[in-house]
Structure 1
Amino acid sequence: MTEFLIYSKRCFINDRFVESTIHIKNDKIHQIYNGYNEHNEIPLLNYNNLIVMPGIIDAHVHINEPGRDTWEGFETATKAAAIGGITTLIEMPLNASPVTTSIKAFKIKQNAAVNKLHVNCGFYGGVIPSNLTDIEGLIKEGVFGIKGFLTHSGIDEFPNVTKNHLEQIAPILKKYNVPLLLHCELSDNNVPKVNNPKSYQEYLLSRPQNWETNAIDLALDIQKRFDIKVHIVHLSASDGIKKILEHKEKTNKLTVETCPHYLYFNAENIPDASPIFKCAPPIREASNNDKLWGFLLEDGFNFIASDHSPAPPEIKQLETGDFFKAWGGISGLQFTLPILYTEGKKRGLKLEKLIPLLTKNPAEFLGLDYKKGILKIGYDADISVWDDTHEFKITEETIQHKHKGTPYLNEVVFGKNIHTFINGVQVVKNSELKTLQQGQFLLNKIT
């Protein structure tokens, strides 16, 4: 169908739920009518009381292709995204090989994704000590931001940068108004000696909150001195909240995200010898995560992203149980919506607050808010239709990721995505993939 109607009593339009009929024509939202509105000879999809909302935009995903597609790849990752109601994702510059730190590598990555995109996909570039002269070229090629690590990234091809490196590229970022995304951990040797590598508490103590807050201080200093956009990825340390709040009062160029796993799990409930839960920075104590929830409920986070970072079982050390040797990353791309909705219900999170954190807000961060992130006439017809009353158990059979290992396995959650539309085409129907390869490459428009 190139022209059809979608009706629901609960369409999320202008930040509230209204009864509407949405007229899709080709790949755009052609018209929005109040209430139920039939048109002769135009097919109508009646979704009754299901939630119809903009497709989710996940602005932090590791797909790992080319070079590490045994970990994940565009084929499986974008299928999982579509099933989960995600219509657009932005791919990080690691852990592919080559990493996206040059124009050549960026083109290799795009070529690797050809005929494998089942949702829309854009890309970030990376900054490492040896590619400072490549940053402007990457920006001109259309990356949505430049990502750097302030501690070891986990792979040797993507070494961390220092304050000096960031100072050198800041004028370029300022020139093009492109955000600097930072993994905010500054490592030091002032941590306990490891006695039991299978102990989650020992792993937690090995990456303390002050690693994050020290890095945040550095990030805020760079932002202030160079007046550039700085984005703090995956905040896990509640000790950083006050610093962030104070800085946000002075500028609108500081943004911050967190991830579902920091809001859903807590350290007290993570068993030893279970590195399926390992990520960096780590999942912290319940008292810390309660403060993250408070920050979220007070509109502190700009958006929420999955930080999907999977790896094969042997690299996750699932047999050995060794937290210190295991890859640090959570596999959860497909389950962002139900995980957040399920825990959010317990915390008093209204859907009117949750939905923009997954749609409108990341679109604004990426500069895609002129065509994505809301249901509006003339915007791309990227739409998620889901049932907030549907309770289900996450099982291996339902997981589209390349590897089935995830800390969310066997969790019972609410909120199932039923239908997904990408650029006006229904790619998921009744929670099953229907039409593939409807995703488009997205490039940042430099102004």
Structure 2
Amino acid sequence: MTDRFTVRASRAFIDGAFRQASVVVDDGVIAYVLPHDARVPRSRTVLVPDDAVLLPGLVDSHVHVNEPGRTEWEGFRSATLAAAAGGVTTLVDMPLNSIPPTTTVDALRVKQDAAAPAAFVDLGFWGGAVPENLGALAPLHAAGVYGFKCFLAPSGVDEFGHLDRAQLDAAMDEIAALGSRLIVHAEDPAHLHGDGELGRGYAGFLASRPPESEEAAIDAVIAAARRTGGRAHILHLSDGRALPAIRAAKAEGVALTVETCPHYLTIVAEDIPDGASEFKCCPPIREAANQDLLWEGIVDGTIDAIVSDHSPSTVDLKRAGAGDFGLAWGGIAGLQVGLSAVWTEARGRGIPLETLIPLFTTGPAGVAGLPDAGRIAAGAPAHLTVFGVDDALPVRAADLLHRNPITAYDGRMLTGKIRRTWLHGAVVFDVTEGGPGEAPWRRQAPTGRLLASPHAERVDA
């Protein structure tokens, strides 16, 4: 049980805008949202400095935790500590690259058993749709997964196979009938080329995964969602040229959402050095002109969410092939710094913070179906974070709480830093409380909860 306290802020993000407020927290829940100068009996007061803002806890609906099976890549303790340090209080774990992948109820229970004693933030879980379990997704749906992820091109791990076009249609039929959602890694293998060594130049890797691959796959997903009326979600959009088709589908009423990631919004292909395989991800980081198109999709509301796609591995795997982009593991580690990275870029473009916050909160919450996450409102969990909007944040990979000290953001000077994060009213991160290894929030018992979709028939937490 947590105590009763009031957080007073001159700028709190409530109902889509910043305003003065006093947020009263009682037993881990937001009890009231009151005017800034309201008297609150029997409550201690926490003041948010005027140079910071109070935000709802962020939501990241696209995280690869990898435990069990590849816990040396990342684990629930390290991932959720990094999440809290990045202001994220709710994340949804991807069904790969753990072993076993979350493609059966038994595998989901194994993952939940690993997560329960180690989670510093709230956790939900995606299921996987692979060739072997098509036609048998209902038990996973009933067990509480928030939807089903599939790949339309090889996933990079043998235990999680990809779907061809006929299997995509079959999965969409089944998932629509369940009332769930299909989330899709949208690259068409017919347009991918180059397997194995590609060399240390980034241009060769970029050419091997052209925009046409994303566009063809997205067209197929739109067609399947249109035909069935089911909900579909495009993961990690990197190709800005695909946005017109997405806009048109949404305008038509297709049940479609789309996300992009901080690395696509803040890094450009022209700046990636030879051999810098920490920048490798699939789909790839593209050119500056393409990035401008993605930002247009942010501003006009076409893009629904900004999520990390935190996909870490060991340093050895990221450096495999001595910087050969064809041989290194593909994935960006950025869970802890996403908001800071995007805010740094947005400021330079003259885009206000209030444009971004829904994309880090209610946007991904809506994608996953988490109605109580990402909001400061009476009755919602007391997930809150304080963000110093002008704070300098020099990124050193070794200082991040990710398990492995390698990231595409290493050496960057960002603007904006998370100062404190509450989960269910308890502090789970505070930048002022000691250095690495001695901060009280790192020694406390994990208090994150395992979440299940509202349609779950039972929840083993």
User: 2:430 matched to 1:421?
Assistant: no
Q: Deviations over 1:144-176 (max 9, x none)?
A: 110000000000100111121122232331223
Cross-structure match for 2:205: 203
* Distance (whole Å) between structure 2 residues aligned to residue 232 and residue 190 of structure 1: 18
Cross-structure match for 1:136: 138
Q: CA deviation at 1:355?
A: 0.5
Is the 8 Å Cα contact of residues 197 and 324 (structure 2) preserved in structure 1? Answer: no
Is the 8 Å Cα contact of residues 144 and 452 (structure 2) preserved in structure 1? Answer: yes
Cross-structure match for 1:45: 46
* Distance (whole Å) between structure 1 residues aligned to residue 227 and residue 254 of structure 2: 14
The letter of the residue matching 1:402 is: R
Q: CA deviation at 1:128?
A: 0.8
Q: Deviations over 1:96-148 (max 9, x none)?
A: 00001011111111111121000000000001111113311111100011000
Cross-structure match for 2:22: 21
Is the 8 Å Cα contact of residues 192 and 213 (structure 2) preserved in structure 1? Answer: no
| TM-score of the aligned structures, taking structure 1 as reference length | 0.96
Closer, same or farther: CA 431–197 of 1 in aligned 2, 3 Å: farther
The letter of the residue matching 2:361 is: T
Q: CA deviation at 1:198?
A: 1.1
Cross-structure match for 2:158: 156
Cross-structure match for 1:381: 382
Q: Deviations over 1:47-99 (max 9, x none)?
A: 13221111000000000000000000001000000011000000000000000
User: 2:314 matched to 1:305?
Assistant: no
* Distance (whole Å) between structure 2 residues aligned to residue 180 and residue 444 of structure 1: 14
Cross-structure match for 2:223: 221
Q: CA deviation at 1:423?
A: 1.0
Q: Deviations over 1:407-429 (max 9, x none)?
A: 10111011110110101111112
Cross-structure match for 1:317: 319
* Distance (whole Å) between structure 1 residues aligned to residue 13 and residue 243 of structure 2: 30
* Distance (whole Å) between structure 2 residues aligned to residue 318 and residue 383 of structure 1: 39
Cross-structure match for 1:439: 448
The letter of the residue matching 1:208 is: P
Q: Deviations over 1:289-323 (max 9, x none)?
A: 11111111111101110000000011112671111
> Helix, strand or coil: the match of 2:199?
coil
The letter of the residue matching 1:414 is: T
Unaligned runs of 5+ residues in structure 1 are none
* Distance (whole Å) between structure 1 residues aligned to residue 321 and residue 392 of structure 2: 31
Closer, same or farther: CA 418–163 of 1 in aligned 2, 3 Å: same
Cross-structure match for 1:94: 96
Closer, same or farther: CA 94–388 of 1 in aligned 2, 3 Å: same
* Distance (whole Å) between structure 2 residues aligned to residue 40 and residue 135 of structure 1: 51
Closer, same or farther: CA 166–416 of 1 in aligned 2, 3 Å: same
Among 322, 326, 329, which residue is 1:327 paired with? 329
Closer, same or farther: CA 51–237 of 1 in aligned 2, 3 Å: same
* Distance (whole Å) between structure 1 residues aligned to residue 399 and residue 387 of structure 2: 16
The letter of the residue matching 1:167 is: D
Unaligned runs of 5+ residues in structure 2 are 434-438, 457-461
Cross-structure match for 1:2: 3
Q: CA deviation at 1:443?
A: 0.3
Q: CA deviation at 1:190?
A: 6.8
* Distance (whole Å) between structure 2 residues aligned to residue 418 and residue 34 of structure 1: 23
Closer, same or farther: CA 364–192 of 1 in aligned 2, 3 Å: closer
Is the 8 Å Cα contact of residues 175 and 230 (structure 2) preserved in structure 1? Answer: yes
Is the 8 Å Cα contact of residues 230 and 254 (structure 1) preserved in structure 2? Answer: yes
* Distance (whole Å) between structure 1 residues aligned to residue 285 and residue 376 of structure 2: 34
* Distance (whole Å) between structure 2 residues aligned to residue 18 and residue 47 of structure 1: 13
* Matched-pair identity in %: 36
Cross-structure match for 1:366: 368
| TM-score of the aligned structures, taking structure 2 as reference length | 0.94
Closer, same or farther: CA 95–192 of 1 in aligned 2, 3 Å: closer
Task: Output aligned runs, 1:38-187, within 5 Å.
Answer: 38-49=39-50, 50-187=52-189
The letter of the residue matching 2:260 is: T
* Distance (whole Å) between structure 2 residues aligned to residue 196 and residue 446 of structure 1: 45
Closer, same or farther: CA 61–38 of 1 in aligned 2, 3 Å: same
Is the 8 Å Cα contact of residues 191 and 210 (structure 2) preserved in structure 1? Answer: no
> Which of 271-280 and 315-324 deviates more?
315-324
The letter of the residue matching 1:97 is: I
* Distance (whole Å) between structure 2 residues aligned to residue 431 and residue 318 of structure 1: 37
Is the 8 Å Cα contact of residues 198 and 325 (structure 2) preserved in structure 1? Answer: no
The letter of the residue matching 2:451 is: L
The letter of the residue matching 2:18 is: F
* Distance (whole Å) between structure 1 residues aligned to residue 424 and residue 251 of structure 2: 37
> Which of 430-439 and 145-154 deviates more?
430-439
The letter of the residue matching 1:282 is: P
